[in-house]
Amino acid sequence: MKRIRLDLFAVALVGFAALGLPSLQAVLRSNASLLAEGDARIGTIDLEKVYNSIDVYKAKLDSIKRVEEDLKTQAEAQQASIKDLEAEFDSYQPGSEAQLKSMAQLQAAVGELKALQVFAQAKVESMQARALRDAYLVVKDATKRFAEKEGIDYVMLDDSIPQIEASNAKQMLAQISARRFLFASPGNDVTAQLIAMLNEEFKNTGSAAAATTPAPTTVPTTPVPPTESGASGGG
């Protein structure tokens, strides 16, 4: 092995000699130039902190909360109606025609409540996913503009910040494997600057549109005709 290495070293010396000293210096200068051009400024951000701190995302969450509250109010009203229908059903003579009609109404009301609950869950989850996506696109665009302004070549997500959650060995390994950063210098962190930029832009241009109250969310239902009163149908 030593002979092979010496031979290779000899060949390298011959090659450099053939190039000549001026050519060798030119190669070294070229490499140094490439290294200098290859130096890049890198910034990192804590994406979770950005999401939790920017007003544009908070406004979207407030909008979702209003929809949730509206759907919850509808569900509570439907539950109260079901209780009334149950009381009315119990007031009729068992097996009577009035009780059969009341049962049909009760079953329809329960079905509407279940449909409302399924719709509410799907609606809220869809709005949450859209809010995350829209906020991500806003952050991505702002990061690009911020980096170009500050002369930063790369902005990366610092995933070394969130704590690894306690779990079994398989899940723990999955969490560790998903990490890309073991350490990032705090001096490269631009989270605070990016948050300030986004909130200032939201204050100046986006607050009115983002904070618009959404229209009430309703689920179409089939009207249920009123039944006879419990007094007249009883006995």
H or E stretch including 45?
Answer: strand 42-45
pLDDT of residue 163: 84
Distance CA(119)–CA(123), nearest Å, equals: 6
Residue of 165, 145, 163 lying closest to 155 (CA atoms): 145
The structural domains of the chain, with segments of one domain joined by +, span: 49-152+192-223
pLDDT in tens, 28-61: 455 445 444 558 899 999 999 999 999 999 999 9
CB 154, CB 146: distance < 8 Å = no
Residue type, position 166, single letter: A
Mind listing the pLDDT tens digit for each residue in 153-189?
999 999 888 888 888 898 889 888 888 888 889 999 9
Helix, strand or coil, per DSSP, at residue 44 = strand
User: DSSP labels for 56-108?
Assistant: HHHHHHHHHHHHHHHHHHHHHHHHHHHHHHHHHHHHSPTT-HHHHHHHHHHHH
| Model pTM above 0.95 | no
Q: Is it the case that residue 209 has pLDDT exceeding 90?
A: no
- Beta carbons of 53 and 195 less than 8 angstroms apart: yes
